[in-house]
């Protein structure tokens, strides 16, 4: 890949926690950063903070609510209108177990934000990622994983916030494996990671959980997968922080991944 200071990197969910710290580290390395957030005022403050802390003027903010498929599409359009090539896409944005039940489109919120949004965004900006090849896609998942129930994906029968969160994160891992296989000849790697257990983030605190660690270690792991030469030839893998690990067994089920892909294309309105 190009040196970091010549790369254009899109980071979603970059206004606090792991995403913000990831953005700060990459800003200090003088990457051209496109940072996403849900709240425009907060996003503007974070962009200003990042510029001041890094002396990097090449940082731009993009606003979108990932509970809305229409807003994910708008975000992709805005990015592509100015940046025809993306060296790294970091899908970090997410919501936890304690948030609302449904998305703006009526889908289970965690499935919508943590999985459908990055699924859709990645496909929409993929031409720009391919154009920058060799390039990378990094998906921030979790060690909390629960098999997707294809008979009740939105958990209408038995809703539980923690289960919903864990299902959405396993879906993201399944997508990672699927996409990596599709891009083997494109010089685009796709990997995912668990950034750390109960790190001190807003998501963890809102869930009423006592934090066990600081988010900087999670950000370091994301940066590692995004730009380290040590993983230049690694793709389709799940990492526990910086160590390759095994995800839930459903991730290895090719038929389950196919069913998930077909459902996701339908729910997002994509065609292949």
- The boundaries of the domain holding residue 134 are 4-268
Q: Can you give the pLDDT at residue 98?
A: 58
HEC string of 68-118 equals: CHHHHHHHHHHHHHHCCCCCEEEECCCCCCCCCCECCCCCEHHHHHHHHHH
* Rounded Cα distance, 117 and 31, in Å: 24
Give me the residues of the chain with pLDDT under 70, please. 98, 198, 200, 204, 211, 272
Q: Is the peptide bond before 199 cis (omega within 30 degrees of 0)?
A: no
Marked catalytic residue, from 83, 115, 146, 165: 165
Total domains in the chain come to 1
Find, among 238, 264, 215, 10, the residue nearest to 114 by Cα: 264
165 given a catalytic annotation? yes
SS3 3: coil
For residue 253, the model assigns a pLDDT of 98
* pLDDT value for 272: 57
Q: Which two tokens stand for residue 177?
A: 């494996």
**CATH code for position 82:** 3.40.50.720
């Amino acid at each position: 890949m190009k040196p970091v200071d010549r790369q254009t990197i899109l980071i979603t969910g970059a206004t606090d926690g792991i995403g913000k710290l990831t953005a700060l580290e990459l800003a200090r390395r003088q990457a051209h950063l496109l940072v996403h957030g849900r709240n425009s005022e907060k996003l503007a403050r974070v962009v200003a903070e990042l510029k001041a802390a890094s002396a990097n003027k090449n940082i731009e903010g993009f606003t979108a609510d990932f509970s809305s498929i229409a807003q994910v599409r708008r975000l992709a359009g805005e990015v592509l209108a100015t940046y025809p090539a993306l060296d790294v896409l970091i899908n970090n944005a997410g919501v936890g177990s304690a948030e609302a039940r449904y998305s703006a489109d009526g889908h289970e919120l965690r499935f919508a934000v943590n999985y459908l949004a990055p699924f859709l965004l990645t496909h929409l900006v993929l031409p720009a990622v391919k154009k920058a090849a060799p390039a990378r896609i990094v998906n921030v998942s979790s060690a909390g994983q629960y098999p997707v129930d294809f008979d009740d994906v939105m958990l209408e029968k038995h809703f539980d916030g923690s289960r919903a969160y864990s299902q959405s994160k396993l879906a993201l891992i399944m997508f990672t494996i699927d996409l990596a296989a599709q891009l083997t000849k494109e010089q685009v790697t796709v990997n995912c990671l668990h950034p750390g257990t109960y790190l001190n983030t807003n998501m963890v605190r809102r869930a009423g959980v006592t934090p066990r660690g600081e988010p900087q270690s999670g950000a370091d792991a994301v940066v590692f997968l995004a730009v380290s030469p040590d993983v230049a030839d690694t793709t389709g893998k799940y990492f526990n922080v910086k160590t390759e690990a095994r995800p839930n067994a459903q991730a290895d089920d090719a038929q389950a991944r196919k069913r998930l892909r077909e459902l996701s294309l339908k729910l997002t309105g994509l065609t292949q």
